[in-house]
Structures are given as C-alpha cells and as structure tokens.
Amino acid sequence: MEKNWGKVEKMTDEELEKLLKELQEKIEYDEEYTFSEIVIREYRNPSNFGVLEKPDAIGEIKGPCGDTMKFTLNIKNGNIFNAQFWTDGCGATIACGSMLTKIIIGKTLETAKKFTSSQLLLALDGLPIEHQHCPTLAINTLKQAIQNCHID
C-alpha cells in the first residue's frame, strides 16, 4: 500500500487522471459482471430514497453486516400511498430499498406484509451470494414499519 502511494504521489495530473479513468472502468466492469442490470439501474438511480417528514409508520433495523435500513410510510385507509427508504449500506441494499418501495406504493398493508425476500430477490433478477442478506434486511425493516403503524 505504502509502495503504491509513493507511486501515486509522483504522478503527474495526466497520469493520475488516466489511472482514475482505468479504475472507474474496472469498477464498472466488475459491477456489470457481478450484478444484474436491474440492480445496477436501481442503485445508480434509486427511487424513493429519503425519510418522509410525517410518516404514519417507521421501521429501522441494523443488519448483521452492520448496515442500517429505514423505511417510512404514509398510509390511508389501509393503503400505502407513499414510501421512502434510507440506508447507509451497500449498493445492493440501495437497489433493494428502491425496488421494494416501488412495489409497495399503492398496495394494501396486508399485501405489502406478505411480500418475501425471495420475491424481492427475483424482482432484482438475483444478487451475488454475499448480498443475499440485503433483501432480508429490506423486508424485515418494512415489516417492522408495518407492525409499528399507528393508523387503522
């Protein structure tokens, strides 16, 4: 590491820019090789990222990996009419939150709470083995929010 840092310090701006471009291309290649197109699309441009100002239901869970996920919902007559998610976790978790909020908006609480992590995994066209727990974190956080809902 120290050896590489020494090399970087001596680089010209042009060499540094070239190295950064190569690294970026490698990251993008690795992403495309590792993740489905849907996952990449969802985490690069997530929907419903944030925390609702006046939520009717809140769920927040820290997963076994140390990442936290939060869901806030607005509910009327048993229907979820708005949902946002927040996470400090990995790209796969962002993709899970984005996809899950899109799925549950417009659904009844009864329907939303039956949705499973396997269904979320399918909706994302799969995830690598090391990210299989990410949909579970998203689903558990949603379920906690629904359980904590203080509206009929």
Binding site for ligand FES (CB under 6 A): 63, 65, 67, 89-90, 92-93, 131, 134, 137
CB of 12 to ligand FES, least distance (A): 37
CB of 80 to ligand FES, least distance (A): 22
Over its C-alpha atoms, the chain yields an Rg (Å, rounded) of 19
Q: Contact at 8 Å (CB) between 97 and 50?
A: no
Nearer to ligand FES, 70 or 131 (CB): 131
79-87 and 68-76 strand pairing:
antiparallel
Q: What's the CA gap between 117 and 121, in Å, rounded? A: 6
Nearer to ligand FES, 97 or 149 (CB): 97
Q: Contact at 8 Å (CB) between 135 and 61?
A: no
CB of 124 to ligand FES, least distance (A): 12
